[in-house]
Structure 1
């Protein structure tokens, strides 16, 4: 009886955490991570490529294609991070291996507020493959548009030309193959159903 209550409580806690995570993901966005067709996408598997486009309602200033788009560590971005060297945040350590900077250059913004230039098609920028990142799953990152391509995050309260996919929570998440996640999830669900069945039988 007591075990069934514990399992039920754990299941409810898990559901609440998932809901809270979903609410956190709704934090302010300046860019939109997406798939090759521009459909919003925040979770990427080992065989995926990572793309980014402009966020509806967030204007990007017209700029010659001399900017860069970086994949960096998941931080709370904003004016207090002004001046950070993006190269220092565009790598991850995994089992003692340092992975190099991940960015694409030659990115600009046209008069319609859409990305153009190298690596951009129809306003969608092809950044990299998930396999170009640390190879650690799950992991989380942010995407930054470095408007002038100087390698630094330029953002003050008065002027913030560099944009982020999510300012104060994780932008994108890489996850293992579905089976790696599904097997433990099914096992937990099975335990829950088993104890639930025993509880009903004892009653």
Structure 2
């Protein structure tokens, strides 16, 4: 695996470690401001990945699956980051601190709407990530060095379409609560 591939894994781990430390600092050590500061560091993780990936490509590396996934990771993190932190915060309060209300499981039309909102976020991530990939392809200006990125755009387009299909099916056949 390439350096960028390992960096993506490291950034994902760092993302969740920073969130975990932020929540522990905020609630267990009762350091609200420092906990919020730690949670606010998550975009810096994306910045590190962006700089490292750009540096690698500028220095002549052939774009690989890892470089394309870095663009996907950055886009998804930008769009879903806040809601992922909110999800972690809610679950941490209920399951670890035994405070607050139990996170609600959605069913029926509520779940369909929730899933569709998630698809809209996925679509926004797709636009941002694809724009990054197209920009990288344009800057590399060598189709033999950027072929993997074009493949990622095609695959992500397919995944986005499948996700939309799944989203629509939840309106047609709503998710039911388990008996």
Normalising to structure 2: TM-score of the pair? 0.25
Normalising to structure 1: TM-score of the pair? 0.23
Select the structure that is richer in strand. 1
Structure with higher Rg: it is: 1
Select the structure that is richer in helix. 2
State the structure with bigger RCO (CA 8 A, min sep 6), 1 or 2: 1
